[in-house]
Chains A and B, each alone.
Chain A
Amino acid sequence: MSARARAFLGIVLLVASIALFAIAMFTALSGDWSTSMYMTLASLVLMTASGLLAASSAAAAFVPVRAFEVKTEITCPSCGLREVRSFKKGDYVFKEVGECPRCGKGRYISSIFREEEARKAKPPQEEL
């Protein structure tokens, strides 16, 4: 089972356990203690299963080595034309990389940098 499927199943089980616990409390208030007890125990079992699934999905989603998207920026010092392309093996900063398509003068690699992986927007960090 994929990490995503495990995480989804874990959430379903968690929601079911919370619902079962709420029903158990309602049953207890209405006086049926025995049924309430069994439902609470069942809710605990579901919650444990959900926790185990969540832990296993986190382990399955683990990536041992991350590969970053690295970009190479090429600049023409004469006309200022800039080009950004994916990094190629053998690139290095200040390497000369042929003629400029606009002015025909020599160009060089002006910088190599990594693109940040796409992340969900986070609320701004609290200033301390």
Chain B
Amino acid sequence: MLALAPLSLLPGLEGVNIMDLIFYAIFIFVSMAIFTLFGQRIQVWRLLSQVKASVRKLKMMRDEGRRIAVERLGELGGDEGIAEKVDRFIEHFAIEPESMDPAGVVWKLERILDVREQKFLDEVRRMAPKASDEEVHNLEGLLEAALALNELYKIVRHYYLLGKRTASLFIIAQLQMLMPLIMKMARAYADALVAFREGQPIGDGIGALVAAKLMHGKPFKPLVRDTVMAEVELDGRLAYVIKAEGPGAKVGKPGEAVKKLLEELGGEVKAVIFVDAAIKLEGEKTGEVVDGIGVAIGGPGVEKFKVEELSLKRRVPFYSILIKEDVSEAVSPMKKELVEAADGAIERLKELLSEITDEGDKVIIVGVGNTMGIGQ
């Protein structure tokens, strides 16, 4: 100790306690050793704890989705074992067709999607025998949302556990960076649960709402499965307005409907106009109405493919009117700005008709989207 005494005579260290100096030195060396040897482990631990908090939230959303589904099915005649049936339902998955030889893959995918939908509807009818046809479609939407939440939870949990087991900073860091986007998606599905339980119109139904406003009060007839059509006079043009048959949660077959009409009417149709919701970019306003060229039909692409094929064969131009909305607004109850935007879209539609057609022309107008809570 005496040997260190002269240290306190160094400039700037006059009067400093030797024990304090030793303590500071040890503190600095230990800190350096900890951060050098265990820095990455500390980072992994921090990232894991953040991901764990998100996994917990996803689990809460998944459990709540399951609970809401069980409760609603119980109200509509679900029996004692309904919870087990819901558990089995939300584990469902569809296997995509092989695309090594892509020719004809669209029709295979359509077949798989049709069988999936039919199976889901049949299963819902068995689970809720007292449900009306509209309620069966709403329940199917509710169960689809619960299924999506279950899938998100399981995928995130898989990568969380994998990262934890391997202590791989790269797996965990990627997952942690993606978590805000995954949570946003999960929030959208969670918001959809109550809308589907109650049968309220959702943001995705804006295209169907525009079509419903056009065809309201006019006689309509079924055209293809779950899809209706009405002939509407619009500023001297004859418009064939198509939408999914409401008010149940249906999207119909807009592609199939356009194909059928074009085949029936031949070359008389001057234009096909699609009205649909489009996902907005950050910074864009909800309810903004924009024009587009091409087929605005979302989903797996089967319906879009059918119409695009006709574009070459029939030489009919395809136009789109899109209403911007956020992904979370697309599946949650429709916002007031979107309801107001429907009138703006109709105005734009009329302007577009005056620009691209003449009086007496025939056009097809398709309101694309989920028509839950929207009649005609």
Contact = CB atoms under 8 A, between A and B. Distances in A.
B374 A92 contact: yes
A70 B339 CA distance: 13
Given A93-B374, A94-B376, A59 B68 contact: no
Interface string B169-196: 0000000000000000000001101100
Nearest to A66: B191
Contact of B332 (A55, A59, A114): A114
Nearest to A62: B57
B190 A93 contact: no
A3 B75 CA distance: 33
B374 A70 contact: no
A33 B21 CA distance: 10
A65 B191 contact: yes
B interface bracket (residues with beta carbon within 8 Å of A)? 35 or more
A128 interface: yes
Contacts of A66: 190-191, 194
If over half of B's interface residues share one DSSP class (helix, strand or loop), that class is named, otherwise mixed; here it is: helix
A68 to B, nearest CB: 5
Contacts of A67: 194
Most chain A beta-carbon contacts within 10 A, residue among B56, B212, B334:
B334
B60 A62 contact: yes
A95 B191 CA distance: 24
B209 A93 contact: yes
A123 interface: no
B334 A114 contact: yes
Interface stretch (B83-91, B119-127, B157-165, B198-206): B198-206
Given A34-B17, A64-B60, A92 B373 contact: yes
B333 A70 contact: yes
Interface of A: 31, 33-34, 37, 55, 59, 62, 64-68, 70, 87, 89-95, 111-116, 128
Interface of B: 15-17, 20, 23-24, 53, 56-57, 60-61, 63-65, 68, 190-191, 193-194, 198-201, 209, 212, 216, 246-247, 283, 332-336, 338-339, 373-376
10 contacts: A33-B17, A34-B20, A64-B190, A65-B61, A65-B191, A66-B190, A67-B194, A89-B198, A95-B247, A113-B336
